[in-house]
Amino acid sequence: MSQNEEFEYHVKRILELLGEDTGREGLVKTPHRVAKALQFLTQGYAQDPKAILNEALFATTNDEMVLVRDIEFYSMCEHHILPIIGRVHVAYIPDGKVVGLSKIPRIVDVFARRLQIQEQLTEQIADAISDVIHPKGVAVVVHARHMCMEMRGVQKINSTTVSSALRGLFKSDERTRSEFFNLINRATPSNF
Residues with catalytic function: 77-80, 118, 146, 148
How far is it, in rounded angstroms, from Cα 125 to Cα 49? 9
CB atoms within 10 A of CB 41: 17
| Residue 7 host element (H or E) | helix 3-17
How far is it, in rounded angstroms, from Cα 33 to Cα 35? 5
**Nearest by Cα to 112 from 46, 160, 44, 34:** 44
Note the helical H segments in the chain. 3-17, 30-41, 49-54, 103-112, 118-133, 147-150, 169-172, 174-185
**Nearest by Cα to 49 from 109, 114, 117:** 109
The neighbouring-strand residues paired with 17 are none
